[in-house]
Amino acid sequence: MAEKKPHTLLIVESPAKAKTIEKYLGPGYTVMASIGHLIDLPKSRTAIDVEHDFEPEYITVRGKAKILKELQSAANKAGHVLLASDNDREGEAISFHLQNALTKKNPRLAIERIVFNEITPSAIREAVDHPGKIDMEKVSAQKARRVLDRIVGYNLSPILWEKVKNGLSAGRVQSVALRLICEREKEVESFIPEEYWTLAVELSKGKARFTAQMIRVGDKKNAAEARPGEDAPPADRGDMRSRQDIHDLMRRLENEVFTVSDIKETERSLKARPPFTTSQLQQTAANRLGFTSRKTMSIAQQLYEGIAIGGGRIGLITYMRTDSTRVSALALEEVRKFIGETYPDGLPAQPNSYSVAKSSQDAHEAIRPTMVSYTPESVKAYLSKDQERLYSIIWERFVSSQMTNAKTKTLSVDISAADALFRVSYTKTTEKGFQAALNVLASKETGKKLPALKVGEILVKEKFLPEQHFTTGPARYTDATIVKTLEEKGIGRPSTYASIISVLIERYYVERRNRQLIPTQLGRTIYGLLINSFPDILDVNFTAGMESLLDRVESEGADWVGMIREFYGPFKQKVEYVSETLQSMKGTLDEETDFVCEKCGRKMIKKLGRFGFFLACSGFPECRNTRSIPLADCPKPGCGGKIVARRKQKGRGKEFYGCTNYPDCDFISHFKPTSSTCPKCGWFLVEKSDKKRGTYKACINKDCDYLHTAAEDEEAFEQKVEDQ
């Protein structure tokens, strides 16, 4: 153990973390924060010397000189410095640059590196007692990634400025994510839904009623027997699909006897899920809590850095950027003791083990509570609502991961009527196992408890329940599904998933609507240009391969200079060729309209801007008048205004829709108007979405019950064709 100096300066990344750690260490230690990177590449130029091994030119980050000076002064007074930035590539680079900046002022300064996976008194003391050196392979890996991303971004962005619009930018990984979202949108738009019908029957035995789904007539199967994940049986199977099929069958079965023909019981053993990795946490928080990836990581950071509980601060979870499900021996011992005391029936004889993905760097443990004794209920009073919800799923997932399997029993009853076969099932949990620890993550039981039945028993038919359906196409990406796809394809890393989505939204290449990620017209334009001009950059396999090479720099000390040199030559040639030959697209998206400028009387032009389309006067630059594009007429009697899109906080807030006559007219809508009007009241229709019906149209008038159904859409389309 290194001899402790009289006074030690410990430098972390964030003030919140500094506040927590300083209370643990007490006298003899000063804890200060660098607040992220102090030394980095300048934003104004590429700053990569391509002629001399791609050496980056680092400077003090603008606005950070004062912080650096304060750290240098404190370091000189202390004489001993511990660098405690995050234990990942970015954190290692921060420590490396800090070490260089501090020794430049004081070459004799004693500087050491400490790392920890959780912010608890024992973990911090352990780290302080066993300092080490900076991991130069991690530093090289961060440098390689930074250099590669800078070369790609600072060469592609000027092409977009010149050929499309000033102020645009392109990134190496973000552009691939944009490609995935744009191509999924093409699939969504080209999908043509097909109608199909299912049939259920309500049956009774005494006072008990239940519903059975029709699965087969003779050798023809119904949609109720579709495979998991299949909307309906494929058309080439000649199955019962049409309305006429179902109604003919109902007439034929009207007077038939419904008899129990078979009863089966099956048992299943369900294993708990492993503790969270970063991507799994983001996916589960999106699906269960409705959080964006950025929100999830922001709240996780708060839980990691420390929450004031009682008389002190404590980090409630371990480091939240990880791709491993590994858990320390100490944590396993603690959680098994907790399970034995709290859920004795759920403690397995041996700890559960989970495989680590081949692509995992396994640098950190899984995300888990630092102490399982801090149950969600016990810390609820100290947490915000969102902190409590996120902490709850982390705690539940970790504790349940070390518990016994849950067991279920499914009763499946087949009911025959002539040559038609109906089926009803009910599943109940026979042993809770790991499910005893679940609350927020608990799954709802499906099916209704059945009365006692036996083979040959005749049931009473109460009524038929025919139902119309439409096949659904591919779903748009959400935060959860894009993160899952990026992880599966090896694009990006745990620390980058949230920022990839955020950057696309901030650039207005993608918008989030009803939790779905939808490419804007600007995003589609950028995608089209890049895929045609730089197919390699947008190639999923190429990008995943580059990620693997960058990982090798850290794990094997691979030659990153040679790797980037091999990439740079052909890439630079392509950039020069595209810059010279690509036809400018500036102005090609502009469209003249019939709207007249209220200031000068000239025609308004529909233009694509930072936050979508808007109207601008054709008399620019003499007339600089702009306004939002009207989406509908204001429905308030006598108003005469137009409904336009608005945003709070100078374009960065959530979009809503209001009247142009504001403040004289205060009409607003939080749903986007469509081009259709309500046939009942004349107000405009809006697009809504919910879990039960998916996306649908409804009247904005709260006093009108009009719903715009698929059948009415088809009728309106047919009428339009006839009129033409």
Q: Specify the CATH number for the domain of residue 449.
A: 2.70.20.10
Residues 573 and 490 in one domain: yes
- Of 134, 164, 183, the one marking the end of a domain is 134
Classify residue 312: in a domain, yes or no.
yes
Give CA–CA dist 656/588, Å, rounded.
28
Best CA proximity match to 474, nearest among 176, 241, 181: 181
Give CA–CA dist 27/31, Å, rounded.
11
Query: Residue 238: its pLDDT value, please?
Result: 41
Is 319 an active-site residue? yes
Which residues of the chain have a pLDDT value below 70?
Answer: 1-6, 220-240, 357-363, 446, 587-589, 610-612, 647-654, 689-696, 706-724
Classify residue 671: in a domain, yes or no.
no
- Active-site residue identified among 29, 58, 304, 319: 319
Q: What token pair was written down for 394?
A: 């982390």
Residues 597 and 450 in one domain: no
- Of 548, 581, 614, the one marking the end of a domain is 581
Classify residue 698: in a domain, yes or no.
no
Classify residue 500: in a domain, yes or no.
yes
Give CA–CA dist 526/164, Å, rounded.
8
Classify residue 520: in a domain, yes or no.
yes
Residues 319 and 335 in one domain: yes
Query: Residue 112: its pLDDT value, please?
Result: 97
Give CA–CA dist 407/411, Å, rounded.
14
Residues 411 and 447 in one domain: yes
Q: What are phi and psi of 148, to 5 degrees?
A: -60, -45
Query: Residue 232: its pLDDT value, please?
Result: 40
Query: Residue 593: its pLDDT value, please?
Result: 82
Give CA–CA dist 513/476, Å, rounded.
10
Indicate which CATH number applies to the domain containing 85. 3.40.50.140
Residues 287 and 170 in one domain: no
Token look-up 């740079």 returns 568
Q: β-strand 110-113 against 79-83: which pairing, if any? A: parallel
- Of 470, 492, 523, the one marking the end of a domain is 470
Q: What token pair was written down for 8?
A: 């030690």
Indicate which CATH number applies to the domain containing 157. 1.10.460.10
Q: Which residues of 560-592 are buried (b: 16+ CB within 10 A; e: fewer)?
A: bbebbeebbeebeebbeebeeeeeeeeeeeeee
Q: Which domain holds residue 437?
A: 195-271+406-470
Residues 412 and 397 in one domain: no
Best CA proximity match to 319, nearest among 22, 95, 25, 86: 86
Residues 220 and 291 in one domain: no
Q: At what angle do helices 540-556 and 136-163 cross, to 10 degrees?
A: 150
H helix or E strand, kind and range, residue 111: strand 110-113
Indicate which CATH number applies to the domain containing 374. 1.10.290.10
88, β-bridge pairs? none
Q: What is the DSSP string of 293-315?
A: HHHHHHHHHHHHH-EEETTEEE-
Residues 150 and 182 in one domain: yes
Residues 534 and 552 in one domain: yes
Residues 56 and 12 in one domain: yes
Best CA proximity match to 276, nearest among 437, 416, 401: 401
pTM, entire model: 0.80
Residues 75 and 166 in one domain: no
> How many other C-beta atoms can be found within 10 angstroms of the C-beta atom of residue 330?
10
Residues 230 and 169 in one domain: no
Classify residue 645: in a domain, yes or no.
no
Query: Residue 371: its pLDDT value, please?
Result: 95
Q: What's the total number of domains in the chain? A: 5
Dihedral angle at the C-alpha atoms of 156, 159, 160, 164, nearest 10 degrees? -160
Classify residue 651: in a domain, yes or no.
no
**665 within 8 A of 639, measured Cβ to Cβ:** yes
**470 within 8 A of 694, measured Cβ to Cβ:** no
> DSSP strand E in 146-301: where?
195-205, 208-217, 220-221, 258-270
Classify residue 641: in a domain, yes or no.
no
